[in-house]
Amino acid sequence: MLYRYACRLLAPLLAIAATGCAPSYLLGVQPAQLHTLFASGQPTAEAAADSVALRLNFLGYEPEYLVFNAEYRNDSGRPIAIEPTAFAYAPLREAGVVPPTQRIRHGERVPAAVAAATQQLPWPALPPAPLTALDPEPQILQLQAGANHEAQKASRPDWVSLALFAVVLGTDIASTTRRRPETIDQAQMRAVIHNAAWAYQAVSSANRVRHAVTAEVLAQRAGQLSEYALRRVILQPGQQVRGYVYLPRFDHADGLQVLAPVGRQQVVLSFVQSHQRR
C-alpha cells in the first residue's frame, strides 16, 4: 500500500523530469526556392501575374500566428482589390522520416516528425483544408470593444467597498461614543468588520488593476493590427501597399505551401519550416 502511494506521488515528478530533459527546437521559415533579399536582409519570395507583383517574406512567430510581410505593386492599367483573407497555406511534411539513432546535436536541423518524437509531443494529423489568414477588420473591432469593456470595469465605482467602509466608520464612532465600555465581543466583532473591509478592498483593487492592464493590452493589440496588418484596399495603377498577413500556426510541418492572391490569380509560394536543435 505504501509502495503504491509512493509511486503515485513520484509519477508526476518523473514526467516533469523527462519533459525537462527533452530537447527544444528553434522554429524558422524561409522561401524554399532561390530568393532575393529585402533591404533589411530578409529573404523573400516573389510572384507576378496580370502586371501585379507580390513580395512575401516571413517576419516571425506569434503565439497563434505566423506573421508574413506582404508588399504589392500594381503595374497594370486598372485598379485591383487587395484582400488579406485570400491568403492561405497548406502544411507539408517530409515522407518516410526515420527516427534518429544518435543524439541530435545543438544547431542540427531535423524534420518535424523527429522534433515531435524527441520532445514526446502528440503528432496531429495535417489539416484537411488550407489554413486561411486572419481577417483583421472584425478582430480590430472585437479588440477595441474588449478594451473599452475592461476600461469601464477598471473605472467603475465600487459601491460595496464604500458601504463596507461606511460600516467600519459607524462601528468606530459607536465604540467611542457609547456610555459603557466596549465589551470583548464587541471589540472582536469590530475587528472582524475591519479585516473584512480591508480584505475586500485589497481584492477589489487587484481586480481593478487587472481590468486596467487587460484594457491596455487589448488596446495595444488593436492599434498594432490597425497600423501594420494588411487591410482591404483598392490599389490604383502605379500604387503599392504593404502590410502584415497573419496565418495560423502549425508547427508540426516541414513546408508551407502559401496560396497568395496576385491580380486575378492565386499563386503558390513555397516556404520551408525548419526545426533547429537549441
Position 11 scores a pLDDT of 46
Here the cell at position 27 is 522554429
Alpha carbons 175 and 120: distance in angstroms, whole number: 66
Torsion over CA: 270, 275, 276, 278 (sign)? positive
**pTM for the full predicted model:** 0.77
Position 29 scores a pLDDT of 94
Residue 73's SS3 state is strand
Position 153 scores a pLDDT of 83
Alpha carbons 272 and 83: distance in angstroms, whole number: 24
- pLDDT greater than 90 at residue 269: yes
Domain boundaries, the chain: 22-109+120-134+229-277, 147-219
Per-residue pLDDT of 218-234, as tens digits, reads 999 999 999 999 999 99
Cα-based torsion angle of the residue sequence 81, 271, 99, 24 in order, rounded to the nearest 10 degrees: -90
Residue 194's SS3 state is helix
Arithmetic mean of pLDDT, 42-65 = 92
* Terminal CA-CA length for the chain: 43
Residues facing residue 32 across a β-bridge = none
Alpha carbons 209 and 214: distance in angstroms, whole number: 9
Residue 105 identity: R
| Residue 249 backbone dihedrals phi, psi, to 5 degrees | -70, 145
Per-residue pLDDT of 170-211, as tens digits, reads 666 666 666 667 677 767 777 777 777 777 777 777 878 888
Contact 270, 32 (CB under 8 A): yes
The more confidently predicted of residues 245 and 169 is 245
Burial (0-12, 13-18, 19+ Cβ within 10 Å), 183: exposed
CATH topology of domain 22-109+120-134+229-277: Immunoglobulin-like (2.60.40)
Arithmetic mean of pLDDT, 22-40 = 79
| Residue 142 backbone dihedrals phi, psi, to 5 degrees | -65, -40
Q: Residue 12: which residues within 8 A CB-CB, separation 6 or more?
A: none
